[in-house]
Amino acid sequence: MANPLVELTAEIVISHASSAALTKEELLETIKEVYSTLEALEKGVPTGGAEAKPAAGVKAKRGRPRTKVAVEKPVKQEKPAEPAKPPVPEGPVLSFEEAFQPDEVGCMICGKRGMKTLKKHLSTEHGLKPGQYKRRFKIPKDVDLVAPKYAAARRQMAIDRGLPEKLAAARALRKKKAE
């Protein structure tokens, strides 16, 4: 878009429309109001109820004056620094036995318990991948970061749905096509 007023109007209206439900008519009216307000502000005309008057020799369109104005884009403010996270202790908060229970797993970094799987928690809260977590706390590679009872329940659901047979059939078909 070439017109900075149109760009600013679009940004403001998009922001407003994303947080409030507007009908088609309300949206059009909002666009008109925002544009005329920005236009008046550029001319230095107060917008608190005073109508902008067209300058000499400028034709008004739909009751609004038309002039060419230069718009300064608002200065983007830098995001405030995020609060520093408390220092992470080097050693585990939970022992291996406390972290890996039959019906739940806990995070050895922060001590959070009651989870069925750790992968999502590790990536979102600590920015770690499962392998990094296992190396950090010397967890054997054959230990899953999933509660054993949860894994068994998921396995049983897959068996009940017949997934092992479907997988075997698909593999046999793929092997047959490859030959």
DSSP class of 48: S
Evaluate if residue 83 carries a pLDDT over 80: no
Which one of 50, 65, 80 terminates a domain? 65
Q: Which tens digit of pLDDT belongs to each residue from 101-114?
A: 999 999 999 999 99
* Residue 170, domain extent: 148-178
Q: Check residue 157 and give its pLDDT.
A: 95
What is the number of domains present in the chain?
Answer: 2
Which one of 23, 49, 65 terminates a domain? 65
Residue 164 domain flag: yes
117 bridge partner residues: 146
Q: What's the chain's average pLDDT?
A: 81
CA 46, 64, 2, 31 torsion-angle sign:
positive
Residue 34 domain flag: yes
Residue 51 domain flag: yes
Q: Check residue 62 and give its pLDDT.
A: 54
- If one compares 140 and 55, the residue with the highest pLDDT of the two is 140
Residue 142 domain flag: no
Which one of 65, 92, 118 terminates a domain? 65
Residue 83 domain flag: no
Residue 15 domain flag: yes
Q: Check residue 26 and give its pLDDT.
A: 87
Q: Is the pTM of this model over 0.75?
A: no
Indicate the pLDDT class of residue 148, thresholds 50, 70 and 90. Answer: very high
Q: Give the least confident one: 9-18, 29-38, 74-83.
A: 74-83
Residue 117 domain flag: no
At 117, phi and psi to the nearest 5? Answer: -135, 155
Residue 55 domain flag: yes
CA separation for the pair 108, 129 (Å, rounded): 14
CA separation for the pair 88, 175 (Å, rounded): 50
